[in-house]
Structure 1
Amino acid sequence: MKVSFSLAALLAASLSQAQYLISELSFGHAGRISPAESRGQIPNFAVQGNPNTPEVLSNRIILTPLAPGNQRGAVWGQQPLLRTQWIADVDFRANGPDRGRGNLNIWLVRNGPATIGAGSIYTVGKFDGLALVIDTSGGSSGMVRAFLNDGNTDYSRQNNVDELSFGHCPYNYRNLGRPSQVKLRQTAKSFRVELDGHLCFESDKISIPTGYQFGVTAATPDNPDSFEVFKMVVMADNSDTGAVRNDPPKQQNQNQNQNQNQNQARGQPAKANSNNNNRNDGEYADEDPDIFQTSKTQFMDLHNRLQNTNHQLSSLQRTSSRHQQQDEKRHEDLTSLIGQLRADMRKLDDITALNTRITELEKDIQGLRKELTRKLQSTERTFKSTLSDHHSTLSEVVMSKTPGHKFLIFSIIGTQCLLVAAYVVYKRRRASMPKKYL
């Protein structure tokens, strides 16, 4: 009995902390977006677009196609969010050419289908709520920006809308080949945005009130991107005591007064259970055992509580499956990283061998340098000795080969003697010649 009581206590504690799905605000969590009998319609959601309506497939919604451009598409929830602590997951994918453009907007606003429609943060006027915009404005590879408005600021009249954001972070989301996950989480202490499991920004000064509607819109220019939404899942926490019921306050007070009058008529004390006002659809409030007087009421209470426990167990199973998938993905990532690390270690071994070869090459080069230096020095000594011997005999050779002055003098004198002899002979012959008279 003690063991079963401990197990029951652990189960109750886990159920109290579990999150449960808000099915009327979610789609795509069961594998199919549009049931076969819905014929392209999404339960509890409305699809609109301009000029063409987005295409609803079995596993995704194509808000804007690759062609043509200048398209606007939107999907809006028809039920408001009545929880103060919640988590919203949106899986989307953006594909397009290198210079493709467009923006995806995730809204949580009041009266979204009428106020926002298929518009974007750059074309919408006044709105009341939250807008999370994903685009490549400013020439960046991708940016996520969050905007708030209380219905007084007209965004269509702003010169620079990006300056109005209260939180932002870079995010490369185009042409990844896989869906990207955007998670919005609001707790009692903070509001945070996560991208693919990584924190984008967090603020403890933001709290979105209840009664707003979720929606996703996309808009593209002439060179468009294709925006596809795979799922939008909204979950709430069982610890949320600020949930709001759909019943008006006056009707609740009337029901409480009627119950008190009935209890007083039966002779029972009128006990106001404060938990009834805060009870939400995911948990069952404690009741006074005196009110279960018949077996039917006891069976109904037991049935409701077992059904609620079954729902919570299903939610736990889904959460466990999701965590198991995440763990498997992390395991695959770690395995791939370890493989890359091993490959890098093998490269380090190659680098060690290369260093050894470089060291051997340095030794060979140093030996070759010494050998060349020795040979150059030997050649220099041989050349110097040869030149010194050549210079010592050069003057003697020049002197021996140069003709003497005697030969020159004899040549000059002999030439003059020959000229004198020739002149004398000429004079004698001229004198011996007969003279002619006119």
Structure 2
Amino acid sequence: MRLIQQDSMLALGLATLATARAQFLVSELSFGYTGRINDRGEAKVPGFTIQGNPNVPEILSNKLILTPPVPGNARGAVWADQTNQYSEWVADVDFRVNGGERGSGNLNIWLARQGGQEIGLSSIYTVGRFDGLALVIDQHGGSAGMIRGFLNDGSIDFKSHHSVDSLAFGHCYYAYRNLGRPSQIKLRQTAQAFKVEIDNRLCFESDQITIPPGYQYGITAASADNPDSFEIFKLVVMTQDLAAKSNGAPPIQQKQQNDGQNQAKAQTSYGRNSRDTNNAKSDESFEEDSIPDASPDSITSSKAQFADLHNRLQSVNHHLSTIFRQNAGMNNMNEKRHEETSRMIDELKQSVSKVDKLDKLDKLEWLASEVTKMQRDIQSIKTDLNNRISQSENNLKRAISSNHGTMLEHVAVQTTPRHGKLIFVIIGSQIILVAGYIYYERKKTLPKKYL
């Protein structure tokens, strides 16, 4: 049962390899494709020039740290010594960004003419005039992360331009900071279009852009006061035909290309954990290692019989090794497909969660309609209350006006002073005083009587 399953997987792998278009590694423009920056353990990147300020970037066994976690305001760059001579290519960059909560900075992937001399350590905001392509990864506009593409033919001075951000021809959002894993970005130039992919998802593309041969690959990074650590794990450049160069290659370089074609045949999705390309062998070696059938009459001695048996055992061994390599490649492919399926399931779950949010949105709409009804009821109650208050005020005014008029008349009548009584009292008192005085005077003039 296990052999049947392996045979079916092998058949599927052969069918996939037959239909897929092979990509060949351009070793002189690549590093990190074996999982190590330098297989010799040296602190340099073969075929590339390293630049940095204030310090040269640190080179570890499996990554290149362009800007360290401390200090801030650091710059780092890595530029290929040779130029790209292919019209169709794929550039695969694995990077990781770590930093504090408010860390900032930018990562720039270049394909420019004389980039090492004209651009050096510059970013898209500090570079002057350049000829080529720049892919910028930063937190533009306060977003969690954005990937933008810029083109220049040498006529625009980006450093003195009033709005560099407006020159981008394509962009997509991608939260790249503190993911805990490397992110994979691909630049793909074909005869039909130019594409940028991030983690096997399309970021943007254009059929109006073609980068001609003769440009240098480079990666620069710049950190701010709150620094970010920009780490590069690999830069892998591949093409479909190593012999299809724009200009003739010298014999030594052509020999290296032929050796790379025989040793480093890779799929487009070249992984960080791929095996050493020096041990890789083409999957088309079945017919080359096959031994033609021979008649038994041609074997006349034990030595010839031993040689024939030895050759056939070696052929079987080679075929088994090829099968095992193909099986290992299929396992890697199955793992990647499993990861893609898991990612699609996660996206489906996110879509389902969005549907749940739509249900919640319906509930929110019902709640909003109920709130609107309550507002209308409150408004009607308010209007009714205002009318009743106005009516009560009018009734009170009418009652006060009617009662106030009679009250004024009553007060006028009741409080009017009565002088008649006062006059009568005054005159009466005067008459009594006069009468008393007269009586007193008469009594005093009467003769006294004595006993």
Aligned equivalents of 1:163, 1:399: Cα separation in 2: 92
2:148 maps to which residue?
144
Alpha-carbon RMSD across the aligned residues, in angstroms, is: 6.2
Preserved CA contact (<8 Å) 1:93 1:174 = no
2:235 maps to which residue?
232
Structure-to-structure mapping, 1:121-132, within 5 angstroms: 121=124, 129-132=132-135
1:242 maps to which residue?
244
Taking a change above 3 Å as real, the CA distance of residues 321 and 85 of structure 1, as seen in their structure-2 partners, is farther
Structure-to-structure mapping, 1:335-346, within 5 angstroms: 335-342=349-356, 344-346=358-360
Number of residue pairs matched?
389
Aligned equivalents of 1:65, 1:430: Cα separation in 2: 139
Say yes or no: does 1:69 pair with 2:83. no
Taking a change above 3 Å as real, the CA distance of residues 215 and 173 of structure 1, as seen in their structure-2 partners, is same
Taking a change above 3 Å as real, the CA distance of residues 62 and 423 of structure 1, as seen in their structure-2 partners, is farther
Aligned equivalents of 2:404, 2:421: Cα separation in 1: 33
Say yes or no: does 1:206 pair with 2:207. no
Structure 2: segments with no counterpart, 5+ residues: 1-6, 267-281, 294-311, 446-451
Q: CA deviation at 1:180?
A: 4.8
Instruction: Choose which of 419, 429, 438 in structure 2 pairs with 1:418.
Output: 429
Q: CA deviation at 1:202?
A: 1.6
Partner SS for 1:38: coil
Give a deviation string over 1:408-427, Cα, whole Å, max 9, x none.
Answer: 63553243122233145446
What TM-score, normalized to structure 1? Answer: 0.60
Say yes or no: does 1:103 pair with 2:103. no
Say yes or no: does 1:329 pair with 2:329. no
1:88 maps to which residue?
91
Aligned equivalents of 1:131, 1:167: Cα separation in 2: 10
Identity %: 34
Aligned equivalents of 1:115, 1:360: Cα separation in 2: 68
Q: CA deviation at 1:227?
A: 2.2
Structure-to-structure mapping, 1:174-185, within 5 angstroms: 176-178=177-179, 179-185=182-188
Q: Look up the equivalent residue of 2:420 and give its one-letter code.
A: I
Taking a change above 3 Å as real, the CA distance of residues 388 and 155 of structure 1, as seen in their structure-2 partners, is closer
Preserved CA contact (<8 Å) 1:105 1:120 = yes
Instruction: Choose which of 215, 218, 233 in structure 2 pairs with 1:215.
Output: 218
Structure-to-structure mapping, 1:246-265, within 5 angstroms: 247-248=249-250
Q: CA deviation at 1:188?
A: 0.9
Structure 1: segments with no counterpart, 5+ residues: 256-275
Aligned equivalents of 2:112, 2:138: Cα separation in 1: 20
Q: CA deviation at 1:306?
A: 11
2:160 maps to which residue?
159
